[in-house]
Amino acid sequence: MAGTTLGGLAPGDHVCVLHGGLVGRSGVLEAFILPALDSGDKVICRIARVAPAVVAEALEAADGRAREALRSGQFVITGARESYLPSGAFDPERVIDAWREELDRIREDGYPGMRVVGDMSWAADPVPGTERLAWYEAEVNRVFVAGFACVVCLYDRSTFSPARLRQYIQAHPGTIEPGVPRIPQLRLRYTSDPRGLAIAGEADIANRTALAAVLAGLPHDAPGDGPLTIDVSGLTFADVGTAAALLRCTREIPQLRLTGLSPYLSDLLDMVAQAT
């Protein structure tokens, strides 16, 4: 799978990895987990379909570094159902709150960062609440954009309808497909000076709801208080929907400033502003 791409992920990234079954998952260990263990990050794997103990045992046998980390608690393997469905149903607000607490705890424990692998195949089962998974995936960006955690969500192409898969893709800033090695399309990061958000990469339908959720939450989520700035100097492509979303922010959030506009983006915003 796209191992080099996984290796290029950074804190603050939240990507959807589309795969075709067990074979696809094997690259995650070498490209994503072992390097993180080497740099001292906390690593959490939430796996489905296989018992955590079975996976842990196999990893311990296969790799000394993984064995050591599993024993020290740096590397934790849990069942996805227990993590995402503690009550048996999917309760997105509760899962998001749990993420906030977990991130705080791991920071307090002194880890420099954190990597998460979540196998989302449980969502293909008839679980109450899964109809809100796309909303959750978009909304949880508001936690991850803070930049400490790097999160990979595994979606098995064969278990979701194309329409559902599309919703999940749009809720992630980046999507990685086998054989398409490139960095995540979009990177979103809160900034403290100036207070606001930095947007880099390409924004379009493939990450529409992820960006929308982060923009909508910005006045509440950005660190500190005072006027907000959205830095788009790293935004190499924006489609009309993105331009409309940015315009909406400038109209609805008082004192919001857009900085780093390229001539291209500036023209596009003018065109969309005339029309809306």
Partner 1 sequence: MRAGAAAGHRGHFHETAFYGSDEEFLAVVAPFFTEGLAVGEPIISAFAPHNQSIVRSVFGGRAGILFADAGAHYASPATAIRRYSGLLADYVAAGAAQVRLAGDVPHPGLGAPWDWWGRYEAAVNRVWDDFPVWGLCPYDTRTTPGDVLDEVRRTHPRIATTAGQHHANPDFVPPEDFMRDRAWSWRDPVEDTEPLAYLTDPAPATVRATVVATAPAAGVPANDVRGMTLAATEAVTNAIVHGVPPVEVRVWAAPGRIVVAVTDHGPGLSDPLAGLRPTGAATGGLGLWVAHQVCAFVSMQHRDGAFTVRLVAGRPHP
Sites of contact with partner 1 (CB under 8 A): 162, 166, 175, 180, 185, 202, 204-206, 237, 239-241, 244, 264, 268, 271-272, 274-276
Sign of the CA dihedral with 138 first, then 143, 145, and 151 last: negative
Min separation Cβ 163 and partner 1, Å: 9
Q: Which is nearer to partner 1, 76 or 183 (CB)?
A: 183
Q: Which is nearer to partner 1, 52 or 260 (CB)?
A: 260
Q: Which is nearer to partner 1, 72 or 274 (CB)?
A: 274
Q: Which parts of 116-207 fold into alpha helices (H)?
A: 133-139, 141-144, 162-170
Contact predicate 59/70, CB 8 Å: yes
DSSP state at residue 90: -
- CA 154 vs. chain centroid, Å, equals 11
Min separation Cβ 239 and partner 1, Å: 5
Min separation Cβ 263 and partner 1, Å: 10
Half-sphere exposure of 256 (CA within 13 A, CB side): 20
Per DSSP, the residues of 166-181 read HHHHHTSSEEE-TT--
Min separation Cβ 255 and partner 1, Å: 27
Q: Which is nearer to partner 1, 53 or 205 (CB)?
A: 205
Q: Which is nearer to partner 1, 121 or 185 (CB)?
A: 185
Q: Which is nearer to partner 1, 121 or 242 (CB)?
A: 242
Tell me the Ramachandran region of residue 45: left when phi exceeds 0, alpha when psi lies from -120 to 50, beta otherwise.
beta
Q: Which is nearer to partner 1, 79 or 184 (CB)?
A: 184
Amino acid at 264: Y
Cβ neighbours of residue 238 closer than 8 Å, sequence gap 6 or more: 202, 203, 204, 232, 246, 265, 268
β-strands 195-203, 186-192 pairing: antiparallel
CA dist 62 → 25, 44, 48, 59 (Å): 15, 18, 20, 5
Contact predicate 158/22, CB 8 Å: no
Min separation Cβ 35 and partner 1, Å: 26
Min separation Cβ 229 and partner 1, Å: 25
Min separation Cβ 4 and partner 1, Å: 17
Q: Is 191 exposed, middle or buried (0-12, 13-18, 19+ CB in 10 A)?
A: middle
